[in-house]
Chains A and B, each alone.
Chain A
Amino acid sequence: MIRSSMARWIVGAFGLLLVLGLLRFKPWQEEVVRPRQQLTVGFLPVTCHLTCPVTDFATKTSTSTRFQSQRFTDFPTVVEAIKGGRLEASFMIAPLAMKMREQGLPIKIVYLGHRDGSTVIVRKDIPARSLVDLRGKTFAIPSIYSNQYLVIRKLMEDQGVGADEIKFVQMAPPDMPAALAAKAIDAYFVGEPHAAKAELDGSGRVLYYAKDIWPHFISCVLVVHEKLIKEHPDVVRDLVRGIAESGEWAETHRLAAAKVASPYFRQDEKVVRYVLTQPKDRVSYRMLTPTDEDMLVIRDMAIKVGILKTPIAMSDLIDREFIPKDIRPADIDMAGAGK
């Protein structure tokens, strides 16, 4: 008795696994043969990384290297994936890229993700006009390794607000609008669309656009592993060109870009469209060459607030080798977009 009913359970359990495995891997679907080279590029569903899914979409049909965008939900996982050798290219926040380099991880910044595109939001019922009015308030940032944090610290200095006069908390960007609505925090600085969300909800208003604080603000960069640069420089070249041309296209086709990207982000197209158009210069995808000057500012601020220890050399960090001379808008066929 025990044998037969136990046996039935054992067979049932492994049968279930088999059925699930079949449903999952669908071995009856023949693998599409891809003669083309292929590279996976990591990104997070933030507007700063918009060019990544756009490039994915563009290379679906192109003949050059196929870039497969891989959505992540947080940066630590991205870092771990790169460390583990499972990911060779990704978008990430600039100070984090420096931190990885400082830790001896052989990565290079080859391009920028965007300019601007971050926003300081305050609660609607707080009549703040500058950081001075936010003394004693709680302020959320995505991470102390984020550029947003560095920039706010710089701005506090400029406005004469002491380092401990604002209470900083680190918080996952998607939680920020809810925390603001619940009045658990008073203000936050984050990449879009997490700022626009509070605006659309009616619980927050814009205090500063990034461009008001630091014109051509940089938060995210494109990093690639040196191994990839060494072994497949042509792929890296294709990638940077693809990202650059996608950026140029997104700059001029904002509504179409929202349509292409929102399924990749799995976000409401309305929100993405709002970020890309209200106002138009909330975020920009031009002038994406990482200059030593820009990066030095970030590096020095990072050292000042204590998240970096050594002044890493720009030549170790940046590789501008792959940036194309002339950038034309990508030729994107909108058939199949938005799905």
Chain B
Amino acid sequence: MISMTPEQATLQAEVEQFIYSEAAMVDQSRWQEWLELYTEDMIYWAPSWVNENELTSDPEAEVSIIYMNNRKELEHRIWRFTSGDSPASYPLPRTNHMISNVAITSVTDEQIVVSSNWMSQIYRDKEQLFYGGFYEHTLVRVDGQLRISHKKVVLLNDIVVGFVDVYHL
């Protein structure tokens, strides 16, 4: 039986609400708010599979699904898929992100590392897709607010339908 101090319980609740609110921003297309959850020097990394059970481990020199190492890139990506000029992204799908198993795996003065499980339901062109996997958020406080400095997304699939973008994950 895991026991939590009141401080731990408060932090757990805060972190959970934060992770849920991030998902809500994506599912409700609140892109500007979503972007602002990330620090300027953020890293967003979805590694690729090397074989049945191993992921790539070096995002700079090995293949990933997505690797962005500053917020500008995420901003550009959002610009791209909301512009209406990317055939792959128009119309945007309806999405529903479910997150559970939220666990704080480490806390230091600088950062909080949080792991969770996710599933997404994606509906577009009269077709339904399900993806799922794991998140690892590294959170920092900026002016008292939680911000994401590092997000790692593991997608269980090694073959996707058509393509994937950040809103599928």
Q: Is A bound to B? A: no
Using a CB–CB cutoff of 8 Å, the interface residues on chain A facing chain B are none
